[in-house]
Amino acid sequence: MIRSMMLLLSILISLLAACQSRTPSADEVATAIEATTMMKKTLEPDTSTPTDAPSETPTITFTNTPAPSPTATESLHPIQIYEDFSSREVEWLACDVCEWKNDALYMGPYPASGAYQTHVAICKECGEVTYYRMAVVATYIDGPTDRGYGMILRWTDDYVITLEISPWQTVGAFKYEFDSDRWEILDGRWAGAVKAGTSPNRIEVFVTQSQQRRTDISVAINGKNVFIVWNEPKDQSPVGLMLFGHALEVSFDDFEFEEYEPYGDPIELEDLDRPSG
């Protein structure tokens, strides 16, 4: 299992908690993100463990576990998938604590462990892709509110990228590199586009070809553009859903996926068509 990068956002959240009744200023957001980056090596251990959790202090680890290897059928046309979870037409790999109910996929709550972990559900039918659009409606159900949930955007032998939101109205894209054992916040912020608490949120990403023939990651929440991560490596990998840590339960619904052709002009964020509603 991979370590959750949403833990970094918990520091950002604490710094912004006093501002939750208003939109934080640019300076406040910048200060929080800088503090998060500086403090990521001295994170406090998770203290909200059940009584049957391991007694020793949890270690913060990220195991270089190979990602599940979905094999998509080769086609001349991009892959297009829609899953409303009313039936199990799409296979989700490595989803150890998952339940299909109420026409949705419920992940968690996972049992406590001795390390911070991100739990995943890898979309088998999506295959290993480079450029794509992926969307899902994610809803916080129960558990700690400072933990994130969302999407696996990349999972290669060298690094992992996740996109995570939280009930505190935070959203962040995070990258972990195995060789350097280094966390990086690609972008992290409070966003009014994220609905708080148990309200459903539609998360959508567009991973497109950059001007340098690498990849740009455009993020929209509930149809509103939030940020773009520019010029990340161009790699093929599995994609899927995720949540951070034990005790958290989240539901996912209305999953959408389509692969983009790896050629042509880069897509501009303002030119993207989005479903209404």
Residue 38: other Cβ atoms inside 10 A? 10
Q: How confident is the model at residue 39 (pLDDT cuts 50, 70, 90)?
A: very low
Whether the Cβ atoms of residue 150 and residue 163 lie closer than 8 Å to each other = yes
Give pTM, 2 decimals.
Answer: 0.72
Between residues 62 and 170, the one the model is more confident about: 170
23: left (phi over 0), alpha (psi -120 to 50) or beta: beta
Q: How confident is the model at residue 249 (pLDDT cuts 50, 70, 90)?
A: very high
What is the distance between the alpha carbons of residues 111 and 246, in angstroms, rounded to a whole number?
Answer: 5
Between residues 239 and 114, the one the model is more confident about: 239
Judged against a pLDDT cut of 90, whether residue 189 lies above it is answered with yes
Residue 157's pLDDT is 93
| pLDDT tens sequence across 40-91 | 333 333 333 333 333 333 333 344 555 555 544 444 457 899 999 998 889 9
| pLDDT tens sequence across 100-149 | 999 999 999 999 876 668 899 999 999 999 999 999 999 999 999 988 99
Which residue, 69, 40, 269, is CA-closest to 174? 40
Residue 68's pLDDT is 56
User: What domains are defined for the chain?
Assistant: 6-264 (2.60.120.560)
What tokens does 255 get? 């999953």
Q: How confident is the model at residue 158 (pLDDT cuts 50, 70, 90)?
A: very high
Query: What integer is the mean pLDDT of 8-20?
Result: 40
DSSP readout, the chain? -BPPSHHHHHHHHHHHGGGTTSPPPHHHHHHHHHHHHHHGGGPPPP----TTS-SSPPB-----PPPP---PPP-SS--EEEE-SSS--S-EET-TTEEEETTEEEE-PPPP-SB--EEEEEETTT-SBSSEEEEEEEEEEES-TT--EEEEEEE-SSEEEEEEE-TTSEEEEEEEETTTTEEEEEEEEE-TTSPPTT--EEEEEEEEE-TTSSEEEEEEETTEEEEEEEEE----B--EEEEESSS-EEEEEEEEEEEPPS-SSPPPGGG------
Segment of 5-19, 50-64, 172-186, 227-241 carrying the highest mean pLDDT? 227-241
Residue 42's pLDDT is 32
